[in-house]
Amino acid sequence: MRLFEPDRSLRMSLNLLIDASVPQISIVIPVFNCHGSIRQVVSRIHAVFVEQTIQIVLVDDGSVDDSSQVCRELAESSCGRIVFVQLSRNFGEHSAVLAGLSETLAPMVAVLDDDGQNPPEELPSMFAELERERLDVVYGLYMDRQHHWFRRIGSAFNDRVANIMLSKPRGLYLSSFKVMNRFIVEEIVKYSGPYPYIDGLICRTTNRLGQLPVKHSPRLAGKSNYTFIRLTRLWFNMFLGFSIVPLRLTSILGLAIAALSCVWLIAILIDKLWIAPGVTAGIPTVLACIVLFSGVQLMVLGMIGEYLGRVFLANNGQPQFIVRQIVRGDSKS
C-alpha cells in the first residue's frame, strides 16, 4: 500500500508535457538526520553532471533534525530538477529508496547515501560500465571501507547469507551505492508488500549484475544511523522476505535431529542390555534432550510465525511508506 498523488503513470505523462527535456540521469538519496552533509552532496552531484540534465530525488525518512528543511530549500530553488519527498515517519532506508525510485523519470538511475561516503565522482564510470557491459545493475565495490568494524562484520555475514537466500553471485558485494537501468526500476516499484529489500528485489528480477571498484570516503558529518537493532531488522528482511530457504533448512534440521535421536536411542539400548546393564539412565540426560528439542521447536514455530505475520501484514495493507509531502521546484503536492 502506498499513498501517491497523482497516479504514477499520469504524473509521468504530465511531467513530460510540462518539461520536454527529460532528465538523462536520476539520482535517489534517502535522507535521515544529515543536515550537515546533504547540501555538499547535492553540490558535488551538480558539479559532476554539469553538462547533463539530471534529476535528484531527496527522500526524508522521518528525520528529527533540520534535514527536511534543508531538502525543501534545495528543491524549491532547483527549478524542478530536485524533488523532495517527505515521508510521514521513519520507514527504513529501503522503503525510502523505493519511494524515491517511484519518483524517477530518467532511463538510468543511481542510489547513493546522504553522508558523502559514496562519491558522486564515481557515478560516470559506473554508468559507463552499465552501458558497456549491457548490465541491469552495477554495484560499487568499496576498496577501502570506512565503516565501523561492527558494521563490516555485519556486512560480511549478510553477504554470506545472501549467497544462499537470494542466489546472489559469489563475490558480488551488495552495497547501497549502485546504478541501474529503467527496466529494473520499473520492476522494483511494482512490489507492493511490506518490508521491501531492494537488493532482494534486484536479485529476483535479473542476473545481469556487475560491480566496479569505487572509493569509499569518510562521512562528511555526524555518525552512522545503523544500530544493532536496525542491522538485525534489515537482516531479517533479507532472510525471511524473499526466500523460503529458512523453512526448508528447518525441515532438514528436524530430520537430522530425528535421525540423531534414533541413533542415540539405539546406543542407549545397547549400553543398557550388554555394556552396563546395572547403570541407571541419568535424569540430566533426559532434561538436556527435552531442552534441546523444545528450543528447536520454538525456533521453528517462531520462524513460521514470522512468515505468517508478514503475510498478515501484507493482507492488512501494511504500507511500505506514506508520503506526507512532495516538493517539485515551485510546486507542492
Which pLDDT value is given to residue 222? 65
CA 99 to chain CA centroid, Å, is: 13
The strand pairing partners of 139, in sequence order, are 178, 211
Which pLDDT value is given to residue 275? 76
Q: What SS3 class is residue 202?
A: helix
Select from 319, 331, 282, 333 the least CA-distant residue to 75.
Answer: 331
Distance CA 41, CA 67 (A): 13
Looking at domain 8-243+318-332, its CATH architecture is: Alpha-Beta Complex (3.90)
Which pLDDT value is given to residue 266? 78
Show the low-confidence residues of the chain (pLDDT under 70): 1-21, 146-157, 162-164, 222-231, 234-236, 238-244, 278-285, 287-288, 291, 313, 330-333
Q: What's the angle, vertex CA 27, arms to CA 23 and CA 32, rounded to 5?
A: 145
H-type alpha helices, 102-217: 123-132, 149-165, 182-188, 198-205
Residues in the chain: 333
Select from 100, 78, 74, 76 the least CA-distant residue to 331.
Answer: 76
The residue whose grid cell reads 544493532 is 228
Which pLDDT value is given to residue 231? 65
Distance CA 327, CA 84 (A): 5
Which pLDDT value is given to residue 267? 75
Computed from CA positions of residues 47, 209, 147, 188, in that sequence, does the dihedral angle turn out positive or negative? positive
